Amino acid sequence: MQETHVGIIMGSQSDWSTMKEAALMLDDLGVGYEARIVSAHRTPDRLWDYGKSAVSRGLKVIIAGAGGAAHLPGMMASKTRLPVIGVPVQTRALSGVDSLYSIVQMPRGFPVATMAIGSAGAANAGLMAAGILALQDPALAQRLDAWRAALSASIPEEPQDD
């Protein structure tokens, strides 16, 4: 059975359609993960417990997605020394710029590796987590190299008419 090395957390059920992109990427690359709803505002005790136990439970990277006043990635980074990759979820009111600004402007000492807004950011978060784990996992490094090569090979040299 795959060990669970990545924690995918999100502020709400409504974030899952975005954060699923990270999960699908990890599925493709054969990386074990768990997905949990952990809200900085609605379930602060859950956030606290998750951050406190992350290292001892064997997690190595946390991907945290949230929208709007997106405090989850930063709060998680303040609670664990594990690398935290932040995904700004696209909001309706401000198109995710609010999420991006909330996540990216961390004070010195508590970094969050902030991805692009929305599903591309979530997919890249999966790739980033895999890249971190691949530093210590040669088989995963090979799978990641193969994934990247396949993506490159799929890009045609010349544009086609629609």
The single residue among 24, 32, 39, 143 that binds ligand RP5, judged by CB under 6 A, is 39
Residue pair 34/7 in contact (Cβ under 8 Å)? The answer is yes
- Please identify, using beta-carbon distances, which residue of 4 and 39 lies nearer to ligand RP5: 39
Judged by CB under 6 A, does residue 126 bind ligand RP5? no
Sheet strand arrangement including 33-37: 33-37, 6-10, 61-66, 84-88, 113-114
In 3D, which of 110, 116, 79 has the Cα closest to residue 97? 116
Judged by CB under 6 A, does residue 7 bind ligand RP5? no
| Cβ 151 to ligand RP5 shortest distance, Å | 28
Within 62-121, the residues that bind ligand RP5 by CB under 6 A are 66-68, 89
- Cβ of 145: how many Cβ atoms within 10 Å? 11
Annotated binding site: 12, 15, 42
What residues form the annotated binding site for substrate? Answer: 12, 15, 42
- List interacting residues with ligand RP5 (CB under 6 A): 11-12, 14-15, 39, 41, 66-68, 89
